[in-house]
Amino acid sequence: MKLIWIGCLLLAGLLPAQAQKEQHRDTPREQISDSALLTLVQQRTFNYFWKFGHPVSGLAAERTATPDTITVGGSGFGVMCILVGIERGFITREQGLDRLLKIVNFLYRADSYHGIWPHWLNGATGKTIPFSRKDDGGDLVESAFMFQGLLCVRQYFTGSSAKETDLRTKIGWLWNEAEWSWYTRDGQPVLYWHWSPNNGWAMNHPIRGYNECLITYILAAASPTYPAPARVYHEGWAMSNYFNNGKEYYGMKLPLGFDYGGPLFFAHYSFLGLDPRSLKDKYADYWQQNRNHTLINRQYCIENPKQFKGYGPDCWGLTASDSYGGYDAHSPTNDLGVISPTAALSSFPYAPEYAMQALKYFYYKAGGRLWGEYGFYDAFSESRDWVDKQYLAIDQGPIVVMIENYRSGLLWKLFMSCPEIKAALTRLDFTSPAISELQENKR
């Protein structure tokens, strides 16, 4: 997985000014209702994408320490957060529309490679910032996260005004020009993560499951102009030594993936728009997959075999985030004693009672140590008395979106309403209530 292999390149940087002013406070916070607490967390986290959005592009910085380095995937999560912001009254519909038009206009001018954006862009110029020496071209997975968000935006702004029509039209151009089939590398039965005009296929990274990349295969099958055939899903994604699992952990069966499920972002990134409720194919029931992955991750923290300080029923969640030694993909099989708030908070749909326990611990008990200008800081380790006072777009976005999916199902409804997505899921032999609705409408 890319985040595991080369995430260590993302070293911790300078603290934002606000974070530098934060003191280690453990004074009790005033109790508010659970609903008010969820709204507070959503709004504060949303501000990372709204107030810290790049002034030229409107897109999201990779992290607070690199304000001009735009992350395409994290920005895809960010455009979904803007829709939440409108629905929750954090901003007006007109404000959200204007920001999204700025974003889409920038993306249309930015560097792309057969319609696919790179991992990083310069927020002012739209030029590629290489992610590594040979990773200086199209990044199919990061672009999939962006398209997941843009399709939700298209489905949300259905009005007849000139601005809303313009926004939908330009999203359509971007969507239609993305050459998913190019990334099969001359018709192989698998998608490849990278292609560069300078280095060709030198990264040589076929995308195989099970991990965070399911949405990439769904979108590739959904493309109206350059679709990848269904066989790439079955022969590429699902043909991996790390795809099928079927074992039980703490009495819970895990259909797919690594032992103990791997980092929890596997249950988040693809499912910000893709609704896992009753979503099934011949490989898995994806609600069971994601809920059990969540519960296994939490139970591991309760069992705490390495005896790290602070772990327990109220303080859990292992996923990719900053660590005291740089960026790392934390999981039960790669446990460094680091808790990432995004892990539990982005799991609200799967285990709301346990996610709320964690939220209350982070907010009320950990106090000012974890809470800053844009919500909860990225990661902490009580064993090392360490808090990473930074924010990362790919960790902040899922908090806002998945809490909203728990509360209203907003992004799930929007994404699953796309006719191309329903058709793609049918083509890949998925079953879902959204597909059944499509079939009923055809009769």
Report the pLDDT value the prediction gives residue 435, as an integer from 0 to 100: 87
What distance in Å separates the CA atoms of residue 161 and residue 159, rounded to the nearest whole number?
6
First CA to last CA distance, the chain = 42
342: which 2 tokens? 């995004």
Residue 10: the pLDDT is 37
Handedness of CA 144, 150, 152, 158 (dihedral sign): negative
**Three-state SS for 133?**
coil
Amino acid 27: pLDDT:
55
Q: What is the pLDDT of residue 43?
A: 98
Alpha-carbon gap, residue 108 to 150, rounded angstroms:
12
Q: Round to whole Å and give the CA distance between 440 and 420.
A: 16
The secondary element (H helix, E strand) that includes residue 70 is strand 69-71
What pLDDT does 19 receive?
37
Other CB atoms within 10 Å distance of the CB of residue 24:
11
Rounded to whole angstroms, how far apart are CA atoms 67 and 69?
Answer: 6
Give the CA distances from residue 212 to residues 216, 217, 243, 385, in Å, rounded to whole numbers and listed in that order.
Answer: 9, 11, 12, 30
Angstrom distance (rounded) from CA 109 to CA 87: 29
Q: How many CA atoms lie within 13 A of 437 on its CB side?
A: 10
Q: What is the pLDDT of residue 368?
A: 83
From first to last of its 443 residues, what are the pLDDT tens digits of the chain? 444 333 333 333 333 333 333 434 445 688 999 999 999 999 999 999 999 999 999 999 999 999 999 999 999 999 999 999 999 999 999 999 999 999 999 999 999 999 999 999 999 999 999 999 999 999 999 999 999 999 999 999 999 999 999 999 999 999 999 999 999 999 999 999 999 999 999 999 999 999 999 999 999 999 999 999 999 999 999 999 899 999 999 999 999 999 999 999 999 999 999 999 999 999 999 999 999 999 999 999 999 999 999 999 999 999 999 999 999 999 999 999 999 999 999 999 999 999 999 999 999 999 789 999 999 999 999 999 999 999 999 999 999 999 999 999 999 999 999 999 999 999 999 999 988 765 555 54
Q: Are 255 and 289 in contact (CB under 8 A)?
A: yes
Helices assigned H by DSSP within 190-305: 214-222, 231-232, 286-303
Round to whole Å and give the CA distance between 164 and 158.
Answer: 7
Residues near 5 by beta carbon (within 8 Å), at least 6 away in sequence:
none
Q: Where are the beta strands (DSSP E) in 233-280?
A: 244-249, 252-256
pTM reported for the whole predicted model: 0.93
- In the chain, what's the furthest Cα-to-Cα distance? 62
3-state secondary structure 171-215: HHHHHHHCCHHHHHCCCCCCCECEEECCCECCCCCECCCCCCCHH
Dihedral Cα 242, 243, 248, 249, nearest 10 deg = 50
Helices (H) and strands (E) in the chain, counts: 16, 13
β-strand partners of 70 = 61, 121
The encoded tokens of residue 192 equal 């490849």
d(CA 17, CA 65): 10
CA distance 151 to 158: 12
- Euclidean distance between CA atoms 106 and 269, whole angstroms: 23
pLDDT at 11: 33
What integer pLDDT is reported at residue 16 of this predicted model? 38
Determine which helix (DSSP H) or strand (DSSP E) holds 327, and give its type and residue range: strand 326-329
